[in-house]
Amino acid sequence: MAAKGQSNDLSTDAVREAVLADRDDLSSQESEEIDEEESVNGESEEDVLSEKIELCLQAFDSLDLRDVNLDMFKKCVRRQIEASYRVFQSPTDQLKILLNAPVNCGTVVYDETRLWLDKIKLRLGGKVSIRRPYQCEIIQNLPKEIFLVFQSGVVCSRLQDVVDDISLAENNKCYAISFTRLEAVVALFSVLSGMSEGAVRSYFKRKVSNGRAKVIVNLEKDFVFLYKIKAGQLLITSHYGFWNTFSFPLHS
């Protein structure tokens, strides 16, 4: 009886092994079919994604952009699509999407620039500072990466007024960008804010009850963007003058 029971056990084990072997063969066969299909198509998932993106980018060929700008634009769009595709691949998580969401530096600088203009005009109508008379200071927390993109854009700008007047300096503590002509500052703010130069100039002057104030930019009183690396802060410094109702200057 023991021998018969042992024979039944062996028979059960044999059946189990045979079933598992069949499953392995089936999985192996399916894997080979998949590999064979990919080999026939000659395209991986990355290749397919690249082709799809290329089809999308071709739609931009008709844009009114110079060859160099169009090429840079396409590269930027491609990077963003590839990054977004990988983030949204299943399984995903909302926090993962948030942490990998690309930040548009242009949008950040656009909003910041308009905020800077508002603060400059507000300062022109305020009381004269005892510590720094007739001087405007704006302190803004700003990620270093955003400032470096801003600096790169200014340095590589094709605006002649900006290129002819820009001055750069840096050390291990800070970066500095300065201008000595009002025309350069107006042109820069116009591009960054999306406003016309006339609209930007309206922020650099202000009439008050006892006179008028106006931003001054020259060799002695330059307009400076100073980024403090350790603090992660951008300090914008400018000067202004004040003339009373008789057009007599009260500033030095």
Q: What is the pLDDT of residues 123-177, one digit of tens each?
A: 998 888 888 899 999 999 999 989 998 998 888 888 888 888 989 999 999 999 9
What are the distances in angstroms from CA 198 to CA 178, 204, 221? 22, 10, 22
The model's pLDDT over 202-212, given as tens digits with 9 standing for 90+, comes to 999 999 888 99
> By percentage, how much of the chain surpasses pLDDT 90?
40
Other CB atoms within 10 Å distance of the CB of residue 211: 16
- The Cα 172–Cα 3 span in angstroms is 86
- The Cα 24–Cα 28 span in angstroms is 6
Q: Can you give the residue ranges of every domain in the chain?
A: 2-100, 105-244
User: Which of 183, 213, 199 has the alpha carbon at shortest distance from 123?
Assistant: 213
Q: Could you identify the residue written with the tokens 């590999």?
A: 35
Other CB atoms within 10 Å distance of the CB of residue 177: 21
Q: HSE, CB side, 13 Å, CA atoms: give it for residue 123.
A: 24
Q: Which of the two residues, 74 and 199, has the higher pLDDT score?
A: 199
**Exposed / middle / buried, residue 243 (Cβ in 10 Å: 0-12, 13-18, 19+):** middle
> Model's pTM, two decimal places?
0.66
